[in-house]
Every structure is written in C-alpha cells, then in structure tokens.
Chain A
C-alpha cells in the first residue's frame, strides 16, 4: 500500500516538540511506513459498531468531595527546574 504523507514539521509544532532536520526526515519516512501498515483497518466494515474508549465500561465515577491531605508546598516545588518565592518561575507570557 502507498505510504501516507505526514507533515512532520507541522505535527511536531502541535506536539510542542523541537526536532532536528535529520529527525524530521527520518520520522517522516518511518511514520509513512507505519501509517501504510495501519491503513489495513480500512478493510473492515465498522458501520454501526460502537467505539470502545475503555475496556471496563464505568461512567460518571465520583468520590466523596472531601478535603484530604495533599502535597505540602515544599514537596510540590521540590522537583521544579526553577523556583522562587514559593512559586514556579517561567518565561514571561504577557508583554
């Protein structure tokens, strides 16, 4: 089956994933090959078949809305790449 084309640069932007030009080319070839294989699903008639999102069909699962112990401020910040004043430091978002 003909390999599907995939615009790796565009998809990588959607995924917020910086790729080198070499990675883009390699991934494009490999994913074209894999998508070609995946095309076989088109052979099946899925009219009137319900999709399965989860194998165990449970819906509207809730738990009591009660206050429970959670991470301390210190623990929540412990793995932060940059922190200050009890906050995560990030690049400027608004001008």
Chain B
C-alpha cells in the first residue's frame, strides 16, 4: 500500500511514473478514514486541499520538475502555522484561529514539493509527555490502543507508525519528538538548536524548542532535515551555517567511531527489557566496528529540575500573548485585566495553567535569583558535561525512555511522575545539541517498541545520522509494523 512507503520509496516510484501523488495522498486519506477513529492522531485534515496539492505535484512531475519531496504527503503538528489552515496548539484558547502565513519550515516543505496536510494532535502548547493534555481528546499508541503514544508530538509519531502519512513534523522542547518516536516505534530527530528556523512555530520555551521530523527510517530523517535546515532572517536564533547533504553521510561505515555510554543513565527506574535492548545495541555497534566506552555526565540528575524552571519561565512569558485581544476565544470582562484573566482561565487546560503559575513564580520578585538564575547556571554545567564528553566520543548512546509506553491515565494525576518520564531526553535541549531516537527492539508482553537515543555534537547531525543509519540497517526493528 502506498501509504506504507517511505519518502525515498515513494519518490522513486513517483519518478518512475508508476504511481501518482494523488494516489499516494488518497492512500493516506483512506488510511485515516480506516484507522484514525482508533488512533486519533489527527485533530482535523483538509482532504480537498491535500488532493489539490497532490494534483499540482502530479502536473510538475509530468513536466519533469525535480524536487526532493515532490508529491510526498507530510502531516503537521498543530503548533506550526500553515497558511489558511486552523492552528490550535491542542488548546481551546485559540478558538477558530486560521493561520495568516506559513511557518518557514512549512514554506520549505512546500518549496520542496511536499503535500502538506493535517493538524496532528499534541499535548496543549507542547506541554506534556503523553498527548493526554489535548483539548481535542487523547491520541493512542498504534501498538496498544490502551497506551499513550508519548508526547507532546504524540500525533506526529502515531500518524507515521499507523501509515496515515509518509512522514510528519513534530517539535521537541524536552524530548517531544524523540520520546513519542521511541514509544510508537519510528525515527524522531531533534536538530541542534538554531539548525531549523522557529519562525511560525508557536513558542513554548524559546531557548529549547526545535522543529524535528518523525519518519519511517533514518534516510527519510536525513532528507527532511536537509529540506528544513538553514538560516532564516526571520528567526534571529537560526544559525548561518551551511547545510550539508545529510543523505550522503549515510555510508553504513562507522568503523573507528567512538560511542559513549553515560553511567548516570543506568538508573534504578530503568526497565529491565529496555536495558537489555540497549545492551544488545551496544554489542551491535561493536560488531559494526565502533568502539564503546563508558563516560560520565555528572550533572544528569539535575536536568529535570533545571528544565522545569527554565521551560516554565519562558512559557509564562511566551503564553502572555494569548490574552483575547487580537485573537483567541475571548471571554468578556469589565476591564482589560478581567478580560485577560477570564479568557485565559477559560481557554487554558490544567497542565498549561500549572506551568504558567510555576514559571511566573520562579520569575517573580524575590525568587528570580534562587530559581531562574540558578537554573541557568546549572544549565551551563549540564552543557559543559556534554561538550567535555564530545572531546573524546563521537556520539553518546542512551535509552530514549526509561520504560516502554505506559497506560492511558497511569500518570495523569501525578505531574512530577510524568515529568520524570523525560529524564533521558531533556538534557539534549538544555545543552542545545542534536539527538535522534531509532527503534531498538520490543518488550515481550505486550509487544511495545523500545527506542535507542543517540546524542551528537552541536551541528553534528551528519555523524549522528550516519551512526543511526548503520545501526538501523544492521537490525530488523524498523521493518516491524503495528497490528491494530
């Protein structure tokens, strides 16, 4: 079935004129009809618009136009602006908002010929690890619909694994692409901070957010990264670095590379089957000719506390814009302050309120130095741990998550336990480095995917993807399909 293809598989068949972009897009739309009642990866999708884009792509293909994603259906997390389409961030507060412009990442996808469609479900404003915090209902894990898909980009990972699209975009602030990719069983990449423009991405924590692809294999991740990357004058934190041909780095040869296994990641809460899968992966790396050494990231244990100060502080400032004046579902008041408070009280869900209050508190007079400034200093220590490690190793290997997917509702009433499920992914954002999660096995009963995380140097995506690709090609995990 066409909807099961990878980007490289589909573009090859489109180039040979064996299939049309319309057929591939229709196959994705049919799959959504068939399965999304069970998975609920999509908040909404505009089928007519998707087919119109596909027809335009078919005309270009017929005219001999060559673009990297021409005719490839790619679905979008509901936090990225797509002109003329709804934008809700998984929240009630935005009401009937329609994006007036395209995010830079979306412009780039369209310029590369992609069929950009759908609004993928997510934790409200990307705050969460399970996609249970959406105002539009929960998304379910294709491997076991009683379980969560991870979050906040749960819709992005589930849609790819359920073959409702060829690939998707998510965003990663503390693991929100890598964690759901691990729990659903696909490839999730968080590029280096500054690699991909954030223009048109609704900000959660501006110093941590990055847009990243969810894909069916590592080659597709490399292809999408190449399209998305690059300097953008509209995002002053995007970095003017040349964009390499990432697919060229996928040689399969990782002989002589040095991989570090941080001893701090072998914690008590690490599930035995996850640990066994990571141990087996390390053995596979050795067979492939890489050298595996133990390293230390001594400030690992402080990452979650640091993150929940910095991220919530930034969120409390960023989300101030949702005040019911220029947009949002307004709730009237007798004066502007009452209008703001009522609009926000009615529009935001519980996790967003929790983080706004925490972020406002740590920034408030008398607490700034004790919390926010201290957290920024610890962030320096965490970043230095990684930079020091990268003096001796080419990449760091860890589990992506301490356990496989948990059950719907299991952690919903205990925010701190939910935060702790991000323990392995959060440091990467604080340090601003790049990371990718690839499938590395399954638990026995029930059968659930396990993710392996690789962390690389700032702007070291070529080496990172090379290692991930060599591992993927030497193992069978990415070929397994969920039965649901």
Contacts and interface: CB of A to CB of B under 8 A. Distances in A.
Interface of A: 6, 8, 11-20, 23, 27, 30-31, 33-35, 37-38, 40-42, 44, 46, 49-56, 58, 61, 63, 71, 75-76, 78-82, 88, 90-93
A53 B376 contact: yes
A38 B380 contact: no
B90 to A, nearest CB: 17
B330 A31 contact: no
B344 interface: yes
A53 B327 CA distance: 29
A53 B207 CA distance: 7
A44 B380 CA distance: 12
Given A41-B302, A41-B375, A18 B458 contact: no
A58 B329 CA distance: 37
B308 to A, nearest CB: 6
Interface string B320-363: 10011111111011111101111011101010011011101100
A73 B107 CA distance: 22
Contacts of A80: 326-327
Contact of B361 (A6, A19, A76): A6
Contact of A11 (B207, B346, B360): B360
A38 B305 contact: yes
- Name which of A18, A53, A92 has the most chain B CB atoms within 10 A of its CB: A18
B415 A18 contact: no
Contacts of B308: 34, 38
Contacts of B9: none
A63 B237 CA distance: 12
Interface residues of B, number: 74
Contacts of B346: 18
B178 interface: no
A68 to B, nearest CB: 9
A81 to B, nearest CB: 4
Contacts of B225: none
B383 A91 contact: no
B364 A91 contact: no
B100 interface: yes
A49 B380 contact: yes
Contact of B432 (A11, A41, A56, A93): A56
A91 B333 contact: yes
Contacts of B323: 16
Nearest to A23: B353
B288 interface: no
Given A27-B354, A75-B100, 10 more contacts: A6-B357, A13-B341, A16-B344, A18-B344, A18-B345, A33-B416, A38-B305, A41-B374, A58-B239, A81-B325
Contacts of A52: 376-377, 379-380, 383, 430
A50 to B, nearest CB: 6
15 contacts: A11-B364, A12-B341, A15-B360, A16-B320, A35-B358, A44-B378, A44-B381, A49-B380, A51-B380, A52-B379, A55-B383, A56-B237, A81-B330, A82-B330, A91-B336
B98 interface: yes
B237 A54 contact: yes
Nearest to B433: A55
A91 B416 contact: no
A12 to B, nearest CB: 6
A29 B357 CA distance: 12
B339 A91 contact: yes
B305 A17 contact: no
B100 A12 contact: no
B339 A18 contact: no
B335 A91 contact: yes
A49 B316 CA distance: 25
Contacts of B305: 37-38, 40-41
B364 A14 contact: yes
- List 4 tightest A-B contacts by C-beta distance, closest first: A55-B432, A18-B345, A51-B376, A81-B330
Contacts of A61: 236-237
A40 B96 CA distance: 42
Nearest to B429: A55
A81 B329 contact: yes
Contact of A15 (B193, B302, B316): B316
